[in-house]
Amino acid sequence: MSDDDEIAEIRRRKMEEMQKQAVNQQREKEAQDKYQEQKDLIMRKILSSEARQRLANLKMVRPELVDTIESQLIQLVQSGQVSRLGVKLPMSDENFKKLLTNLMDKQKKDFKIKKI
């Protein structure tokens, strides 16, 4: 095999690898988009339009926090804890503010600094 053939083979392999990576990235993006659509649909059922607007505003400031809040909110609804509190769905902005306050207080309690 000549040097030119070896270089061509290396290029071909590299091109195949790059194409596989592109396909995997596209699949990953599609999966993330589908997950986000499902989460948005669930949030529309759980929160009133005012509460969703509050969540959107919060997402601009603290996007990492909103992901946690959305996950916790979905878990609370699925486990029936929201209905046990007497909150009807879609949740009003006032009830959502109370829930946010409780969740934030809970996160603060879970955070501890230990001296070494």
pLDDT at 103: 77
pTM for the full predicted model = 0.70
pLDDT at 108: 63
Domains and CATH numbers, the chain: 3-76+85-106 (1.10.8.140)
pLDDT at 21: 97
**Smallest Cα–Cα separation from 55: which of 17, 65, 10?**
65
pLDDT at 80: 86
pLDDT at 102: 82
Amino acid at residue number 5 = D
pLDDT tens series, the chain, 116 aa = 688 899 999 999 999 999 999 999 999 999 999 999 999 999 999 999 999 999 999 999 989 889 889 998 999 888 988 877 778 889 999 999 988 888 777 766 555 556 66
Q: How far apart are CA 116 and CA 112, in angstroms?
A: 13
**Smallest Cα–Cα separation from 81: which of 102, 55, 57?**
102
